[in-house]
């Protein structure tokens, strides 16, 4: 089966309180782009965060004593460190310039996904936080698009992430609705009839990786792409389901 990743070009820059689903539907209509059953609408976290008002003016942030201490240790802006602490449940590692934390959503990564690129900056600077509940954001958008178009589609919210041991960012899934997130093949068989014991395929992250590459990450202005042919699957799994349980985490 052929997969296609179709970038949606010419979208406006999204801003706080914009109706993202409505604007996307209008744009698809104008550009005569027809969604198909099984399509996955992949949306960059950054635009979800923007429309949901997650842009923070740094002059409104009052660092705690803990944030001040930690900021001095790792040589970062104490206001950014304060936001990182508010957004995370656990500091996994710290080093000059880097805080690896467990985000309250469960994802482990650098600086709690807080981003300062491709956002409008106030005089004192700004920072963009992850959506409050990206699985819910995905579900809301999925419902709007599905009911407007009558198509069975999935929605995926992507972010770009650094990883241990490997250089360079890849896209990951931080929100999903009506698609297969984890494809559990345990109990199936391989080519030689040997039972598969451990094969769970992370479809959401795999699709997010390629979608994020198609979006570009700098100035391409393509925050939404359609992934066609990967078959959404239409399950009620969430990206929360892919977080490895803490007791199985070998890296605590």
Using CB under 8 A, list all residues that contact a second copy.
1-7, 13, 93, 95, 98, 100, 102, 106-108, 116-121, 160, 163-172, 181-183, 185, 188-192, 194, 196, 199-203, 205-207, 209-210, 212-214, 217-219, 221, 230, 241-244, 249-251
In which element (H, E) is residue 146 found?
A: helix 134-149
Q: Could you give the 3-state DSSP secondary structure of residue 71?
A: helix
Instruction: Give the nearest distance from C-beta 82 to a second copy in angstroms.
Output: 21
Pairing type for strands 126-128 and 108-110 reads unpaired
Q: Could you give the 3-state DSSP secondary structure of residue 59?
A: helix
User: How many CB atoms within 10 Å of residue 164?
Assistant: 10
Vertex 50 angle, CA 47 and 56, to 5°: 145
Residues 122 and 55: their CA atoms lie apart, in Å, by 10
Local structure of residue 247 (DSSP, 8 states):
G
Instruction: Give the nearest distance from C-beta 151 to a second copy in angstroms.
Output: 19
Instruction: Give the nearest distance from C-beta 163 to a second copy in angstroms.
Output: 7
Do residues 54 and 131 touch, judged by C-beta distance below 8 A?
yes
Closer of 4 and 150 to a second copy (Cβ): 4
Instruction: Give the nearest distance from C-beta 26 to a second copy in angstroms.
Output: 22
Instruction: Give the nearest distance from C-beta 251 to a second copy in angstroms.
Output: 5
């Amino acid at each position: 089966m052929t997969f296609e990743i179709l970038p949606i070009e010419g979208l406006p820059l999204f801003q706080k309180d914009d109706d993202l689903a409505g604007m996307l539907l209008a744009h698809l209509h104008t550009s005569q782009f027809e969604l198909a059953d099984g399509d996955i609408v992949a949306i960059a976290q950054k635009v979800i965060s923007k429309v949901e008002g997650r842009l923070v003016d740094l002059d409104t942030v009052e660092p705690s004593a803990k944030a001040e201490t930690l900021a001095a240790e790792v040589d970062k802006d104490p206001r950014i460190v304060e936001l990182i602490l508010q957004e995370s449940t656990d500091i996994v590692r710290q080093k000059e310039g880097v805080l690896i934390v467990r985000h309250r959503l469960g994802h482990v990564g650098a600086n709690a996904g807080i981003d300062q690129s491709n956002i409008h900056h106030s005089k004192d600077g700004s920072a963009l936080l992850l959506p409050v509940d990206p699985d819910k954001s995905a579900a809301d958008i999925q419902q709007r698009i599905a009911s407007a178009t009558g198509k069975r589609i999935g929605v995926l919210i992507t972010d770009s992430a650094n990883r241990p041991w490997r250089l360079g960012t890849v896209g990951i899934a931080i929100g999903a609705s009506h698609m297969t997130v984890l494809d559990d093949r345990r109990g199936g068989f391989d080519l030689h009839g040997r039972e598969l014991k451990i094969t769970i395929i992370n479809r959401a992250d795999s699709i997010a990786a390629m979608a994020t590459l198609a979006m570009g990450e700098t100035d391409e202005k393509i925050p939404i792409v359609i992934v066609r042919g990967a078959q959404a699957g239409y399950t009620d799994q969430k990206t929360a389901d892919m977080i490895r349980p803490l007791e199985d985490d070998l890296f605590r």
